Homo-oligomer: A and B are copies of this chain.
Amino acid sequence: MIEVTEQRFTPKFDRNGLLSAVVVDAVSNEVLMVAFMDAEALDATRETGFAHFHSRSRGRLWKKGETSGNVLQVENILVDCDQDALVLKCIPAGPVCHTGERVCFFRKLDGDALVSVNT
Minimum Cβ distance to chain B for residue A7 (Å): 5
Contact at B108–A81, with CB atoms within 8 Å?
no
Contacts of A87 in B (CB 8 A): 31, 105
Contacts of A113 in B (CB 8 A): 7-9
Contact at A80–B109, with CB atoms within 8 Å?
no
Copies of chain A in the complex: 2
Contact at B29–A80, with CB atoms within 8 Å?
no
What 0/1 readout, one digit per residue, does chain A (17-35) give for beta carbons within 8 Å of chain B? 0001010100011110110
What 0/1 readout, one digit per residue, does chain A (81-103) give for beta carbons within 8 Å of chain B? 11001010000000001110100
A77 in the interface, Cβ–Cβ < 8 Å? yes
Contact at B85–A8, with CB atoms within 8 Å?
no
Contact at B31–A22, with CB atoms within 8 Å?
yes
Contact at A117–B78, with CB atoms within 8 Å?
yes
A43 in the interface, Cβ–Cβ < 8 Å? no
Contacts of A2 in B (CB 8 A): none
Contact at A114–B8, with CB atoms within 8 Å?
yes
Among B7, B22, B112, the residue within 8 A (CB) of A22 is B22
Q: A32 to B58, alpha carbons, bound, how many Å?
A: 30
Minimum Cβ distance to chain B for residue A113 (Å): 6
